C-alpha cells in the first residue's frame, strides 16, 4: 500500500533536498505528503501507512515555508541559513515538487512509479565561497527521469538528471532508500540513506581546478573525473498539527566520496545539516 509520506520525502530534500541541491546533491530532498483528513482514515498493514483509496496517492496541493542550515557548498567549512519554500502538487499524472521538478508520471500505482520532469539545479557557489575566489557555479535546470519501487515497507528511488542550462552541464545519478514509520495518527518518522554518482563534466567543473584557474588562484591543478560523489543518512519527522497544517523537520549528515573529497576546494568532507518547515494542504 502507498505510504502517506510522499511530500515529506520530496520537500524536506528529498532531497534531500535544498541541502543536496545547494551542496551539489541534485534535488534529493526528503518529502511530505498531503496529511490525512477526517474522511481519509489511516491504516497500518505490514508496517506501511496506506490510503483510503486502495493505496494510491490522491490529488493534492501542499505549500509551505521553511529554513535550511547547511554548508555554503558541500566541502565548505562555512555554514549558512537559507529560507526555502515547500511545494507538492499532484493532479492525475501531473506533479510539481522539489525532488522530481515539474513533470508527469505515466506509471503510478501502489508498488511502482516512473516519470520524467524538468528540475531546477540549486547546487552552486559564489566566488566569495571558494578558496582564493577562483571560480563560480551558477544555478541551472535540467531533465530528470526517475523510478520508485515500494515493497516490504521500504521505498527505493533511482533517478538520472542531465543538466541542460547553467550549473555544470553534467550528468548526475542518484539512489535513495527510505522506510516511512507511522508512530501515531499524527506523527511520522522517515529514516533514509542515499548516494550519488556524477560524470567527469560535473565533478571537474564543480570540484576541479584547471590549469588557468590554478595559475590565477595559486591552488593546485585538480581533476576528479567521473565516480561516486557523496552519500548521506538522515532522519525526517512529520507531525500533523491539524488535518491541514503540518510541521516537519529533518537532520542528517552528508560525506563526499571518491576523488572529489581530495579537491583543493574541499575543507570539510563530512557535514551535518538541518531543516524545518511548516505546510498547509488544501
* pLDDT for residue 37 is more than 80: no
Of all residues in the chain, what percent carry a pLDDT higher than 90?
73
pLDDT of residue 57: 61
Task: Report angle CA 159, 58, 32 to the nearest 5 degrees.
Answer: 55
Q: Cβ of 36: how many Cβ atoms within 10 Å?
A: 18
pTM of the predicted model as reported, rounded to 2 decimal places? 0.80
Q: Which domains, from first to last, does the chain contain?
A: 8-281 (2.40.160.40)
Contact 224, 40 (CB under 8 A): no
Spatial CA neighbour of 102 closest among 84, 76, 120: 120
Tell me how far apart the alpha carbons of residues 230 and 252 are, in angstroms, rounded to a whole number.
13
pLDDT of residue 190: 97
209-214 contacts: CB < 8 A, separation 24 or more? 209/134, 209/135, 209/263, 209/264, 209/265, 213/134, 213/135
* pLDDT tens figures, 143-180: 999 999 999 999 999 999 999 999 999 999 999 999 99
* pLDDT tens figures, 64-94: 999 999 999 999 999 999 898 889 999 999 9
Amino acid at each position: 500500500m502507498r505510504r502517506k509520506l510522499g511530500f515529506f520525502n520530496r520537500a524536506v530534500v528529498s532531497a534531500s533536498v535544498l541541502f543536496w541541491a545547494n551542496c551539489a546533491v541534485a534535488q534529493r530532498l526528503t518529502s511530505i505528503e498531503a496529511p490525512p483528513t477526517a474522511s481519509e482514515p489511516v491504516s497500518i498493514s505490514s508496517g506501511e501507512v496506506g490510503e483510503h483509496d486502495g493505496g494510491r496517492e490522491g490529488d493534492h496541493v501542499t505549500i509551505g515555508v521553511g529554513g535550511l542550515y547547511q554548508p555554503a557548498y558541500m566541502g565548505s567549512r562555512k555554514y549558512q541559513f537559507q529560507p526555502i519554500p515547500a511545494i507538492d502538487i499532484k493532479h492525475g499524472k501531473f506533479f510539481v515538487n522539489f525532488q522530481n521538478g515539474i513533470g508527469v508520471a505515466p506509471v503510478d500505482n501502489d508498488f511502482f512509479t516512473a516519470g520524467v520532469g524538468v528540475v531546477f539545479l540549486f547546487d552552486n557557489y559564489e566566488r566569495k565561497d571558494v578558496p582564493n575566489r577562483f571560480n563560480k557555479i551558477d544555478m541551472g535546470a535540467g531533465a530528470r527521469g526517475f523510478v520508485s519501487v515500494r515493497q516490504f515497507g521500504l521505498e527505493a528511488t533511482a533517478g538520472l538528471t542531465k543538466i541542460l542550462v547553467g550549473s555544470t552541464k553534467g550528468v548526475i545519478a542518484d539512489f535513495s532508500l527510505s522506510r516511512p514509520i507511522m508512530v501515531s495518527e499524527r506523527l511520522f518518522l522517515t529514516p533514509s540513506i542515499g548516494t550519488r554518482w556524477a560524470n567527469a563534466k560535473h565533478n571537474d567543473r564543480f570540484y576541479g581546478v584547471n590549469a588557468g584557474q590554478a595559475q590565477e588562484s595559486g591552488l593546485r591543478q585538480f581533476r576528479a573525473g567521473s565516480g561516486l560523489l557523496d552519500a548521506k543518512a538522515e532522519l525526517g519527522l512529520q507531525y500533523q498539527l491539524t488535518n491541514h497544517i503540518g510541521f516537519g523537520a529533518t537532520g542528517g549528515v552528508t560525506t563526499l566520496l571518491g576523488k572529489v573529497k581530495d579537491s583543493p576546494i574541499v575543507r570539510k568532507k563530512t557535514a551535518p545539516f538541518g531543516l524545518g518547515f511548516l505546510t498547509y494542504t488544501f
